[in-house]
A = this chain, B = another copy of it.
């Protein structure tokens, strides 16, 4: 969750992860200690993501409105801001501009 604009000394999987017909595209990054994260972007859309493990979504550019399952309010997250989605749950996310993120799992 550093403010560095890049990950260093990592592995990156060449093939992308494509969700929602490409409204969300990510690449998997593997840190030296084996931790997996993903770097991705959500294009202008309104989507619902299901979570398996908990996820921390760190915005690195752009912004999005987010509503965690069970919450009433939408909150806006911009560059440098993060939200946590619980495991085995879901969250709604909507953006009018590309929302660039790092997803931290577990």
Residues of A within 8 A of B (CB): 4-16, 18, 21-23, 25, 27, 29-30, 39-41, 43-44, 60-61, 98, 100, 102
Given the complex of chains A and B, what is the CA–CA distance between A33 and B43 in angstroms?
32
> Main SS of the interface on chain A?
strand
Q: Chain B nearest CB: distance from A97 CB in Å?
A: 10
- In the complex, the answer to whether B14 meets A60 with C-beta atoms within 8 Å is yes
Known: A9-B11, A12-B12. 7 other contacts (CB 8 A): A9-B9, A10-B10, A13-B39, A15-B41, A22-B23, A22-B44, A25-B43
Q: Show 6 residue pairs from A and B whose CB-CB distance is below 8 angstroms, ordered by the A residue.
A: A6-B14, A7-B12, A12-B27, A15-B60, A16-B41, A22-B98
